[in-house]
Amino acid sequence: MGKSNLSERNFRLGCSSVTWFFSGEKKLDQILRDIKSAGYEGVELYTSQTENPDQPFESLVREIKNLIQTIGLEIACVNGYVGFGPTTRLGDFVSLKNVVDYTAALGCDKMMVVALGGERKNIADQHKAMAHFLNEVAEYAQSKNVVVTVHHRAESLMETMKEIDSFFSYCTSENIKLTLDTGHLVATGDDPVKAARIYHERGLLNHVHLKEGKPGQYKNLNLGEGQVDFEKLIGALTNIGYQGWAVLELESQPGGPSPLDIARVNKQYLDKIL
């Protein structure tokens, strides 16, 4: 497959602020300016700097919207980093409902939730319980014009494509979609290019995390250092007409390369493909 044509792609490139959080940077102004200077079009906000905000958050929303507009980015998604699993209860629903309200107030139409880890027994029953809980959250989110997108991950109850399929078989709300994470899929033995095509055809794919991976590993790898074929992935996303965001999401630790350097190096890698 040849390189995709930049003029043909309908998706845009964003960068997650999670790299900065893991590195200890909490100043949103600096994070956004770094992401803009590295050449990205949007940001996936990793909650409100340190944790999900509690009501009232009107002043915080005004501050963030002003920064976004001044710096010249868009909000690709709000990563509430609120997990859900088979034992989620009322308190978790209230927390997720609050993040829905926060996402809507920011003018963003996509809120991410993360599949929790847990004991890997009777997984189908656990998927059913997870879906039942999230169906309620998604119905509330739909009333706010916010889509709920689910982040599968290694070391959770939703690792592989088979387990993603199991979970979605119990979802009754059409307002639950999928964040496809390339690194987590490779780490658990699946092909992200195949997954992108399949979940697009099923109408589930609405967000993509560009992350590198190897079997059993998905942390601290720059794009091109693992086994994800990003050229084929970009080509596939272009060919299927994917219109969401493709977001760089890499972890970093204090003492390592700066988040800005990480963002720049990986943007340069993507620019070569595009």
**CA 242 to CA 261: how far, in whole Å?**
28
Predicted TM-score of the model (pTM): 0.93
Structure tokens at 37: 């200077």
CB 153 within 8 A of CB 115: yes
Tell me, what's the pLDDT at 50? 54
Count of other CB atoms within 10 angstroms of residue 252: 22
Domain that holds residue 50: 8-273
Residue 265 lies in a domain: yes
Domains: count for the chain: 1
Residue 211 lies in a domain: yes
> pLDDT-based confidence at 115, cuts 50/70/90?
confident
Structure tokens at 118: 């847990």
Beta strand residue intervals within the chain, DSSP E: 12-16, 42-46, 74-84, 110-115, 147-151, 176-181, 205-210, 245-248
In angstroms, what is the C-alpha Rg of the chain?
A: 18
List the Cα angle 11/198/78 in 5-degree steps: 45
Tell me, what's the pLDDT at 75? 97
Assign residue 120 a region: left if phi > 0, alpha if psi is -120 to 50, beta otherwise?
beta
Assign residue 137 a region: left if phi > 0, alpha if psi is -120 to 50, beta otherwise?
alpha
Residue 153 lies in a domain: yes
Tell me, what's the pLDDT at 4? 45
Residue 34's CATH number = 3.20.20.150
Residue 23 lies in a domain: yes
Residue 3 lies in a domain: no
Asked whether residue 6 carries a pLDDT value surpassing 70, the answer given is no
Structure tokens at 100: 């829905």
Asked whether residue 1 carries a pLDDT value surpassing 50, the answer given is no
pLDDT tens, position by position, 15-66: 999 999 888 888 999 999 999 999 999 999 987 555 678 889 999 999 999 9
